[in-house]
Amino acid sequence: MTKNIKLDNDTTIGNKDFNIMAGPCAVESEEQMDRIGKFLSSIGIKILRGGAFKPRTNPNTFQGLEYDGLKILKAIKEKYGLLVVSEIMDPRDVELGCEYIDIIQIGSRNMQNFALLKEVGSVKKPVLLKRGMSATIEEWLMAAEYIRLEGNEDIILCERGIRTFSDYTRNTLDLVSVPIIKNLSEYPIIIDPSHGTGRRELIIPATKAALAIGADGIIVEVHPEPSKALSDGDQSLDFDGFKVLVDEIEKLKVHFY
């Protein structure tokens, strides 16, 4: 049985519903986040994603607004009654981060950053644990175990594509990991169709498959103007595209729960 992760605003993850977490790759400005927060809350989305600390391959690219980004996230979530999921990369930021965000995201690059896992294991916030780019199922569940052993059992797993030879998509989305995780653990599992494919036109089909294969939701990139996004624009939906996604999933999901 999948355990339920209860969040503040009557939201539960893992409870026979399909949660859609959405927002930009990176928090870019208060104005940007206000547009997105307003839009998402207007169509019933409850969890806003947005990166304040950005783990970028190249140190010379935009690294996120950092603490200022956290403050923006908090302001927007309070204004629109949203919950916020955002990545923390440094164990020294965990305690402060907990004051601003509702779900702590551990990114793929840090799936085996054991110092960080132990730190988020010792706080009382749900953790979204992304699968490492080349992590086996066992390594992923063992990373969750590092968190759980410190006392935090509110863990949501996130499949975001694995690294393979295949070059048409950014990663190879391992959708079959969903029923595997369901068989081996009690953790809810969601899909990241943005990183998992890297291509906007594949997000809706991948989300339908995620629903059908038993995932508890998705985390997806939405941006008011994807072509102007500071990162990951190619894998972000615009507002109209996102509305199509939500509508299609709403219609389908009654047949799966």
Q: Which of residues 184-203 bind a second copy (CB under 8 A)?
A: 196-197, 201-202
Q: Which of residues 215-254 bind a second copy (CB under 8 A)?
A: 251-252
Nearer to a second copy, 81 or 179 (CB): 179
For residue 69, CA distances in Å to 72, 86, 89 come to 5, 10, 14
Number of residues binding to a second copy, judged by CB under 8 A = 59
* In the chain, beta strands by DSSP E: 5-6, 12-13, 19-23, 47-49, 83-87, 103-106, 127-130, 155-159, 189-191, 217-221
Q: Interacting stretch for a second copy, rule CB under 8 A, among 18-26, 29-37, 107-115, 217-225?
A: 107-115
Q: What span, in angstroms and rounded, lies between the C-alpha atoms of 97 and 62?
A: 20
Q: What span, in angstroms and rounded, lies between the C-alpha atoms of 45 and 84?
A: 11
The answer to whether 191 and 202 have CB atoms below 8 angstroms apart is: no
State the binding string over 121-160 for a second copy (x if CB under 8 A, else -): ------------xx-xxxx--x--xx--x-----------
Among 38, 42, 115, 250, binds a second copy (CB under 8 A): 115
Percent of the chain that is helix, strand, coil (3-state, to 5): 40, 15, 40
Among 8, 55, 79, 225, binds a second copy (CB under 8 A): 55
Closest CA to 129 of 109, 147, 106, 152: 106
Considering the complex, what minimum distance in angstroms separates the CB of residue 33 from a second copy? 23
Nearer to a second copy, 7 or 135 (CB): 135
DSSP type of residue 102: S
Among 1, 10, 99, 165, binds a second copy (CB under 8 A): 165
DSSP type of residue 51: B
169 in contact with a second copy (CB under 8 A): yes
Q: Which of residues 72-101 bind a second copy (CB under 8 A)?
A: 89-92
Kind and range of the H or E run holding 130: strand 127-130
Q: What span, in angstroms and rounded, lies between the C-alpha atoms of 229 and 252?
A: 30
Q: What span, in angstroms and rounded, lies between the C-alpha atoms of 241 and 40?
A: 13
Among 10, 44, 99, 168, binds a second copy (CB under 8 A): 168
Kindly list the residues in this chain that would bind a second copy in the complex (CB under 8 A). 55, 57-60, 89-92, 109-110, 112-116, 133-134, 136-139, 142, 145-146, 149, 162-169, 172-176, 178-180, 183, 196-197, 201-202, 205-206, 208-214, 251-252, 255
